[in-house]
């Protein structure tokens, strides 16, 4: 027996396992691992993505990248998607999937319909950089009609905001 003090009213009682609505979500890679296929004839990278903001903040989506598979089409698709993710993270090359962890990116989420014994689920269709990280910072030009302010010389003891 394990003695504990636990009050169920202090914790959320159920998780929502319904798929996220399709669309673009700000996410980050929260975990990654290499796993063998069920058939044992290949391997894939399993990424856990966590939604970073909005109504679904904290929800997780998984993305399997079949990089070691006998089906070359699956390998090509996985390589393209990993390339999108790496570039969305602001990199060109990585040596370890942990380099991709905790970097916000946008993920295009779709819904795969229920099939057989499996419920409907989410599927990641692509990645892109977050808008605020992707936009280059541009200096704004002052209007020609506005006079420029000058800073007082260093010999003046007043602070720049004390005019």
Q: What is the mean pLDDT of residues 142-146?
A: 44
Q: Does residue 1 form part of some domain?
A: no
Looking up residue 51, the CATH number of its domain turns out to be 2.40.50
* C-beta separation of 107 from 123 below 8 A: no
% the chain with pLDDT above 70: 77
10/47 Cα distance (integer angstroms): 31
Instruction: Using the predicted structure, report yes or no on whether residue 96 has a pLDDT greater than 90.
Output: yes
Q: Does residue 46 form part of some domain?
A: yes
- Total domains in the fold of the chain: 1
Q: Does residue 77 form part of some domain?
A: yes
Identify the helix (H) or strand (E) that includes residue 124.
strand 121-129
Q: Does residue 161 form part of some domain?
A: no
Q: Does residue 145 form part of some domain?
A: no
Q: Does residue 115 form part of some domain?
A: yes
Name which residue leads in pLDDT, 139 or 112: 112
Q: Could you tell me the CA-to-CA distances from 80 to 4, 58, 64, 126 in Å, in that order?
A: 49, 26, 13, 9
Q: What is the pLDDT of residue 17?
A: 78
Name which residue leads in pLDDT, 158 or 95: 95
Q: Does residue 7 form part of some domain?
A: no
Instruction: Using the predicted structure, report yes or no on whether residue 158 has a pLDDT greater than 70.
Output: no
Range of the domain at 92: 16-132
Q: Does residue 5 form part of some domain?
A: no
* C-beta separation of 54 from 76 below 8 A: no
**Residue 52 per-residue DSSP state:** -
pLDDT digits (tens, 9 = 90+) for 7-55: 877 766 556 678 999 999 999 999 999 999 999 999 999 999 999 999 9
């Amino acid at each position: 027996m394990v003695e504990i003090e636990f009050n169920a009213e202090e914790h959320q009682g159920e998780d929502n396992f319904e798929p996220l609505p399709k669309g673009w979500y700000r996410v980050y890679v929260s975990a990654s691992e290499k796993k063998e296929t069920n058939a044992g004839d290949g391997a894939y990278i399993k990424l856990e993505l966590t939604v970073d903001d909005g109504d679904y903040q904290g929800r997780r989506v998984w993305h399997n990248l079949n990089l070691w598979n006998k089906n070359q089409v699956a390998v090509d698709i996985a390589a393209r998607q990993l390339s999108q993710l790496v570039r969305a993270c602001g990199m060109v090359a990585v040596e370890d999937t942990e380099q991709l962890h905790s970097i916000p990116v946008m993920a295009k989420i779709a819904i795969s319909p229920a099939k057989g014994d499996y419920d409907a689920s989410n599927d990641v269709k692509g990645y892109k950089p977050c808008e605020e990280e992707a936009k280059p910072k541009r200096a704004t030009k002052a209007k020609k009609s506005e006079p420029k302010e000058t800073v007082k010389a260093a010999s003046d003891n007043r602070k720049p905001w004390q005019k």
